Structure formats: C-alpha cells, structure tokens
Chains A and B, each alone.
Chain A
Amino acid sequence: MKTYLGIDVGSISYKFVLIDEKNEVLFWLYKRTEGNPIGAIQQGLRELRKFIKNHNTEIKIDGVASTGSARYLAGVVSGADLIKNEITTHARAVSSFIPDAKTVIEIGGQDSKIIILENKVAVDFAMNLICSAGTGAFLDAQAYRLGVPVEKFGELALSSKTPTVIGSRCSVFAESDMIHKQQIGHKIEDIVAGLCQGLARNYLSGVGKGKRIKPPIIFLGGVSENLGMRRAFEKALDQKIVVPFYNTVMGALGAALLIKEISPAQTKFRGFEVSEKDIRCASFQCRGCPNQCEVIEARIDGKIIARWGDRCAKWSNLNPA
C-alpha cells in the first residue's frame, strides 16, 4: 500500500502525518520536541513503525517531506525527498481540506503567520518580523509561572467575565504587567483572558497589519488549541473562527500532500532503522575568512551525512551526493 509521510519539526513540538493515495490520514502524532529535535524525529519514526506493525503491515513509505523551522535537519535525518517551508505546506493542506478558506492564522511555538488564500492558492503571507511576542513559547512560560497547565489555560480564560487589560506590545512588558495586575488583586482568570485578548490584538496589529482578513478564517498551530485565544480572535475580528480537525498537524499534512503530488519514483527515505542509530550534530566555527560561519555537521553512526550553515559552501559542498 502506497503512503506518504510529512514530518514537521518546530521549536516546541513535532508532528508526523501519514496519508494514503486518497489523502486519507492513516496516522498522526503531535508531541513536544523537548529541546531534542533529532531525538524527536527518531521517536516519531519509532511510533510510526509500531503503528504499521500493529495495524497494517502492508504500508510502504513512498515519499517523505519535511517542514517546520527544523526542516533541514529533519530532512537530512529522515532522508526526505522534499524540504518545504511551513507557509507553503500549511497553505497546501488548508486549500485541500477547506477549499473556500480565505485567511489562515497560524501560531506556533516561536513563529506566527498569516496566509491569505484566493481560490485555493496562497497569494500573500506575513510572519512575525523580529519579535516573537505572543507565540506558543510565551504562553507556555506564562502558564508555568501561574501554575496553570497550558492545556487548561484556555478554559480558565473562558471563565472570566471581566478580562483585565494587559499591555502586550512586548512579551517582557506583558509579563511585568501581568505580575503587577496580580499584585493589585486581579483574578487569575481575568488576567489569563486579558492576556489572550492582548496577544490577539498584538498579532492583528503586527503580523496581520495591512492584510484583508476575510472569512472563512482558519486558526491553526499549537496555540489554536487554546480556547481563550479562539475567543479572543473571534472578539477582535468579530468573525467566526474555524479550527479544523488536524489543526495542530496541518504543516505535516501539507508536506505529505506535496510529496504525494510529486510521488518520487524512488524515495530517499532512510528507513525506520535510522531511529535506532546514533545521530549526532556538532557545530564548529570556520576560520577560513572573517565571516566565521557556524558550520553544522551531522553524522549517523560516526559517518558525516551533511554539513550546512556556511556562507561560501566550502563545507556543505563536501556533502556526499
């Protein structure tokens, strides 16, 4: 049975999606990277192998695509046939599952983006520029600080009747403002709800600036799990927000769809054995010129499989073809 795998490795979480030729999702997972992207990819592959063993041993992987901010690493480790940026993969998945979608709001661990679609095609997009205020990592940190599990954060926000106003231009100031509001006696649910509203506002004035946000509006990424953020966007935009199934794994799903379209004659997938191998990455500073590039070197069982990060390609050219 022909199948295609999409791997999305982000700053906070990693996602795997396996589809068949009819675009049916056979397997998916969403887990925390926990600061170890290589380990995450290996873990994902182990779980997929287990799934195949227990459910359908007929499954054969005919193509792999990686995406997300660690897409190069994921691509090298897994032997991906396609390495694609996360904007294109998200747009691809949305246009296939929600053909009439016009706007995609995606907030992940460290990036937030907006994609504008016209007739199933991405025509415009924006990503947070040099500030990552209001992304998943910040919500995570605040949940931890308030002693609320991040999964309960949204529910708590919904229980608020009078959200506190939190200045959210910058996550550093937002945090000190939250502490201040706690100190003068605001209720925790009001602060949490206020934070969600602030982050939605910040997103719309930063990332969404100058974009025509038309419905249907699709909300994706880890942060779309947060009920408080959903409500905050609905309020700020005065529009219904659609959170589809697979909202957290859309990037991986898009990657799988893209590689299915290409359907390589012979996949470069390294196979599930790679999950048991010793994979290491190390970096060194090249002293060849004043640019002093940080070169990354990836090895599987001691053998160099790829190098990247150099501006002049002196090291990356040594890659075995």
Chain B
Amino acid sequence: MKIGIPKALIYWKRPYFWESFFENLGFDVLLSPKTNKEIVEMGVKASDPETCFSVKVFFGHLLWLEGKCDFIFVPRLKTNKEKLEYCPKFFGLPDLAKIAVKTKILTETFDEIKENRLKALERLGKKLNKNKREIQRATEISEKREKEREEEINKNFFEKINSNKPKIVLISHPYNLQDEYVNLRLEEKLKELGAEAIFIDEVPISANRFTPLDKLSNGASQHKSAPSINFHWEFGKEIMEKIDSLFLTSGEKNFRLSGAIEISAFACGCDSVLKEFVEKKFKENKIPFLYLIIDEHTGEAGFQTRLEAFLDTLGS
C-alpha cells in the first residue's frame, strides 16, 4: 500500500518524521516533489482566493498526489506538546482535502491538550491495522531520526556563524523557509549578494532557555529580553524563543548578526500577530530588519530590488 504525503505546510512542521514512520510500518511512501510552477498553479486554482499563499501551495501538492497513491496523509494538527495551538487553517485541512481530491484521505487528530501524542498515533495505526507495539517501534525510530537531523542542522548553524560574510537571519514558518520556490530562492539570492543566510529553524534552542534572560549573569544577557507574553500560538513561541536564543549565542560566541529578514505569506493571519513582536525585537537590538510578503503574483524583480537595497544599507 502506498501513502502519499504532500511536501508542504504541515509536512515541514516535522519533516522526515512521517516518511520514516510510515516506512517503518511497512508502507510505501510517495512524497510530492519540490514546489514548482505547475503545483502552485494547480493549488491557486483549487483554493479559496482568500486563503493564505502557503495553504494554496499545500493544495497544489495534494492535487499532484491525486491518483498516484492509495491514501494521502493529512493530519489534523490542533495543539502541540506544549499545549499551544496550531494555525486555525491547519484544523480544517483534512476536511477540505476530502473535497478536493478523489484519493482517500488518511487523517488523525493531534490535540495534545486532550491526550498524549502516542495515543493519537496508536489510533492512526489502528486504521492501518497496526498494533500498539508496531506503532511504538516506528515512532521511536522516527523520533531518533528526527533528532539526528536536528543535530546535523545545529552543526550547520555553528559553521554558518563562523563565516566571515555578513550574516542575515531569515524568519518565517518552516514551510516558507524550506521551500525555495515559495521563498523565491531567497537563500541563493543572498549568497549571490555575498551574505550568509541563517534560517531561524536552524538555531538551536539555547540550554539556558528556562533562565529568564535578565537573570543571566554573563555578558550574554546584554540584549533586551522578549516581551514576556504567554503565547497562544505554537509558531509564535518557537520563533520568538529561537530569536532569543540567537541573541544569546551571538553574545556567547561573539558573532555579529548583520540583519534580519522576515518573510510572510500573503493573507497569513498568524503573521499579522507575530510580525509586530519580531520587528520590535530586532529594532530594539538595533539590527536592520526587512519585511517581505510573498504570494503567487510576487515578482522576483521587486524582491531582488529590496534585497539589494537591504544589503547596501548593511554594508555602510
């Protein structure tokens, strides 16, 4: 049996976990390819015009998988381990997916306010005729794989901060950052302009994360700490924590961050909340900040102009 996974949106919340999970249960996994123009066009045509660009891209991937596998996996992500809510647009994805494609949708609700994640995974396994032991094993292997990947990414991060080029941190949700079609090859463009791009998801959450920043006695706490708000949203907390961690590391390892670029998908409700915090944080720490919006009409030319100008302002 073949299970299709759209390589978009929620996939990037835990990349590699799901492929490994299903493969270890003995299924064939079909991932949709990297986002391309065809996929985007399909998605834009099929989606509600008012929804965000990232959801449109997701539907393109979903449609690409239609008819190519027995099931398409679309989990319903509601809350995470820390009991923080995912974007409301994620809640409705499996329902909308059922209308959009003829291929059967495999889904399960992950709501960790109500129950442990493993419980939901077991229920998902039941649908696939797999017992608890098999599910546990597949979960363990996949989580281990996830961890290995995380370590690799962290290593990558420490290499990047040692480079001599101006370092620019890119802030967005993983599904925008990891998808080079969606972010208009931002990393490559920055490289061409002579800068090093650090993805916010590469930043390891500091070991000191539970120490309030102002209580740290070393020089690392010189930066202004985040406005202490209790985040309701999963994405906001993670991004803000990583930004804090980045400032901490820059103090500890003595590297200079030259600038920050936040990318937002057009019509993203979450970002209308998050942007205010992110921008404030960088401005308070006197780090140049650029905000870019992407959508299906975004011209690369306008993007390029802004990036070039941004780097010129840093160089001076």
Give the B-binding residues of A (Cβ under 8 A): 69, 84-88, 91, 121-127, 129-130, 210, 289-292, 311
Pairs A-B, 3 closest by C-beta atoms: A87-B309, A290-B36, A85-B308
Task: Give CA–CA (A210, B291) in the complex, Å.
Answer: 12
B305 touches A87 (CB 8 A): yes
Closest to A87 in B: B309
Per a CB cutoff under 8 Å, which of A121, A129, A292 touches B38?
A292
Task: Give CA–CA (A292, B181) in the complex, Å.
Answer: 12
- How many cross-chain pairs have Cβ atoms below 8 Å apart between A and B? 58
Closest to A85 in B: B308
Write out the residue numbers on chain A whose beta carbons fall within 8 Å of the beta carbon of B181.
291
Task: Give CA–CA (A230, B222) in the complex, Å.
Answer: 43
Per a CB cutoff under 8 Å, which of B38, B292, B308 touches A290?
B38
CB distance from A48 to the nearest CB of B (A): 26
Q: A87-B309, A210-B279 are in contact. Are A291 and B37 (CB under 8 A)?
A: yes
CB distance from B314 to the nearest CB of A (A): 9
Task: Give CA–CA (A84, B311) in the complex, Å.
Answer: 12
Write out the residue numbers on chain B whose beta carbons fall within 8 Å of the beta carbon of A127.
302, 305-306
B312 touches A87 (CB 8 A): yes
Q: Interface with A: B71-79, B148-156, B293-301, which one?
A: B293-301
Q: Which residues in chain B, 257-316, are within 8 Å of chain A measured between CB atoms? A: 266, 279, 288, 291-293, 295, 297-298, 301-302, 304-306, 308-310, 312-313, 316
Task: Give CA–CA (A121, B312) in the complex, Å.
Answer: 10
Per a CB cutoff under 8 Å, which of B39, B288, B297 touches A123?
B288
Task: Give CA–CA (A41, B4) in the complex, Å.
Answer: 53
A86 touches B305 (CB 8 A): yes
Per a CB cutoff under 8 Å, which of B36, B288, B291, B301 touches A291?
B36
Task: Give CA–CA (A130, B316) in the complex, Å.
Answer: 28
B165 at the interface (CB under 8 A from A): no
A123 touches B313 (CB 8 A): yes
CB distance from B168 to the nearest CB of A (A): 15
B185 at the interface (CB under 8 A from A): yes
Write out the residue numbers on chain A whose beta carbons fall within 8 Å of the beta carbon of B309.
85-88, 122, 125
Write out the residue numbers on chain A whose beta carbons fall within 8 Å of the beta carbon of B310.
125
Write out the residue numbers on chain B whose beta carbons fall within 8 Å of the beta carbon of A86.
305, 309
Q: Which residues in chain B, 170-213, are within 8 Å of chain A measured between CB atoms? A: 181, 185
A85 touches B36 (CB 8 A): no
A69 touches B305 (CB 8 A): yes
